[in-house]
A and B are shown apart, each in its own frame.
Chain A
Amino acid sequence: MQKFTKVLIANRGEIAIRIMRTCREMGISTIAVFSDADRTSMHVRYADEAYHIGPSSSSESYLNADKIIEVAKKTKADAIHPGYGFLSENAGFAQKCADNGIKFIGPSPEVINQMGNKIQARLTMIAAGVPVVPGTTESLKTEKDAVDTIKRIGLPVMVKAAAGGGGKGMRLITSEKDIVSLVRSARSEAKSSFGNDSVYIEKYISSPHHIEFQILGDQHSNFIHLFERECSVQRRHQKMIEETPSPLMTPELRMKMGEYAVEAARTVNYEGAGTIEFLVDNDLNFYFLEMNTRLQVEHPITERVTGIDLVKQQILIAEGHPLTITQDKLRQSGHAIECRIYAEDSDNNFMPNPGKIYNITQPLGLGVRSDGYVYEGYEIPIYYDSMISKLIVWAENRTEAIERMKRALYEYKITGVKTSIKFLERIMDTDDFRSGNYDTNFIEKNKAVLLADTKCTPECEDMVIIASYIEYLDRLNIAQTSKEMYTAQNRWKKYTYQKNFERL
């Protein structure tokens, strides 16, 4: 069994810091890598060592496998943790790590490949007896083939790229006349996004629930699941809010889906932390959707209800330790919710809003965890994801968790960039969310309420005007050489001056 002394984190931002925190608790020293744009990123400041790996564009830095391996070799890192995104599901990178005697914290390149190809993954799951969404198990050959297959399955259907992900190369077909053109455009998008134009057909399940199971597997063929996460609140195929337990779940269904999730992991002899995603319809029929062979963004809610540090488990498994947790000892205690804070303009079609953080006040208090990476004066780069932080709350039950999340969002203040905080707070107030009666159409369905334009009261507007006026006067004073000239108007800043003097 190996003991890691140094781990390189091949990622940035929030998740890099999250991983380093656990490394620190385990007495492992951490190596950060960074691009031109990320010299000021918090993950560089948090790490024990940090190395520049290239220009801002991720294809030349965080996706540059050779460069990252080079740093790992130079610094004598025992292992590389890929985080999520970037190289985390890149079999070629996992192989290169192995070739250079560096442990890749995750499954084998073969498993990444097998699960990365959606058609292959479907075949594997069918063989393991896991229910999959009805559809084809091979790539579409001709356009005639497409029309025949779709007629057999029955409209509506989804065409999906075999190499797909992130909503790319995906089309919904609802009428027969569109089949040829939509299959063609799915193919061309798949080709340009993944370099592989292979597509397949799946029956379209309208308003499904998106529920996933966290699994862990060690190098000694032990497999467990750590229950579900409900991830149905999505916009643009991206998750916004996750919670566990799922309001839809029954103990019987949880047991059944959990068993299938473990079976899926066992079939591919999975090593590390992984996630089995399912679609669940309103009659509680469930279908395998895909497997993510990495740590998920929303892993903290599972940590919160099970009390297990998933990154620590990943590292122990990679070191060769057998799992010490057994399925019968695992419990879901209380309720956890995560909100993703994006730098974006919710009122303007969720357009990303990079920029400089002027002020940030993060929520604190009982049951609140904030996994972020931005700080005052930090300029969020335009090159990477717009998620700046994850807010996770825990409470005894779901109602209390929702109230706590509302309170935490109220406390969360970020100025300088627009964020999704207000939008998230409104979600906490909708009847559909509060009753737990929601599916992936939630945002679309509640759009009118979520995006309603409510002005601040006239009195509140007047306060903004007063504050602006005082700020303006203060600035005038700063511009003057002598502050004495305006002593009278300057009094309200006296408090701040005094405070600053006391600090000296």
Chain B
Amino acid sequence: MSVDIKLDKRIASVEILKQYENLLEIKVDDKIYQVDLMHNDEGIFSILANGRSYNIELVPQPKPKLFTAYTLYHSYDVEVIDAESRYLRNRSGAVQLTSENTISSPMPGKVIKIPVKVGDEVKKGDTVITISAMKMESEYKSPIDGIVIKIFVNEGSTIDAHQKLVEIE
């Protein structure tokens, strides 16, 4: 049984071919690896493959089957697409991605200012919300010319990363 794993934009299919204790023969797309894999501690993996030692750390995200993976110098967004999630995806038709016209912040913080209100016309590049985190203020600008149709937060409220803030149409 293989599943798909999405690594940033790449989607690869993975399948275990053979297994003996911690030694695995595993297929990633069309490449077959013999690896010695240790799940050392919660989310920490040590993998020996082709004579190299890889350390990979996985941090679970709020949604199941989503992780952030850390290698030595990189971090990746990882999503496991198994039968269940494939079924859910198909059932809901097109994937409901966050619209590009919805503004969100990549980090948690506090809403300092919302200089617009619902119904306001905004131009591309106009600041629609100011977020402060760790003594630094960031202004989020409208990606398009349009109208503010929804504001999800209030001035002074604290927000989570990736939370919807303002929607423009």
Contact = CB atoms under 8 A, between A and B. Distances in A.
Contact of A354 (B54, B72, B134): B134
A449 to B, nearest CB: 14
Interface string B50-90: 10101111110000110111111111101010100000000
Contact of A472 (B49, B80, B134): B80
B39 A456 contact: no
Given A422-B73, A466-B35, A492-B21, A382 B80 contact: no
B135 A472 contact: no
Given A352-B136, A415-B57, A465 B28 contact: yes
A411 B76 CA distance: 20
B69 A467 contact: yes
Interface stretch (B40-48, B116-124, B147-155): B40-48
A471 to B, nearest CB: 5
A215 B37 CA distance: 54
B108 A354 contact: yes
Interface string A378-390: 0000111110000
A469 B14 contact: yes
Contacts of B56: 463-464, 467
A contact patch SS: helix
Interface string A146-160: 000000000000000
A501 interface: no
B39 A464 contact: no
A239 to B, nearest CB: 15
Contact of A358 (B5, B52, B59, B71): B59
Interface in A343-392: 343, 345, 348, 351-355, 358-359, 382-386
A460 B43 CA distance: 17
Interface in A371-426: 382-386, 410, 413, 415-416, 418, 422
B22 A495 contact: yes
Contacts of A461: 7, 10, 76
A382 B12 CA distance: 36
Interface in A428-483: 454-456, 459-472, 474-475
A326 interface: no
A491 interface: yes
Q: What's the interface size class on B, roughly?
A: 35 or more
B38 interface: yes
Given A354-B108, A382-B110, A470 B37 contact: yes
B80 A468 contact: yes
Given A353-B107, A355-B161, A413-B57, A462 B71 contact: no
A359 B67 CA distance: 14
A470 B33 CA distance: 14
Interface in A300-359: 343, 345, 348, 351-355, 358-359
A359 B40 contact: no
Contact of A467 (B16, B45, B106, B107): B45
Interface of A: 343, 345, 348, 351-355, 358-359, 382-386, 410, 413, 415-416, 418, 422, 454-456, 459-472, 474-475, 488-489, 491-496
19 contacts: A351-B107, A354-B109, A359-B44, A410-B72, A413-B57, A413-B70, A462-B28, A463-B35, A463-B49, A464-B56, A468-B7, A468-B67, A469-B14, A471-B58, A472-B80, A488-B19, A494-B21, A495-B22, A496-B39
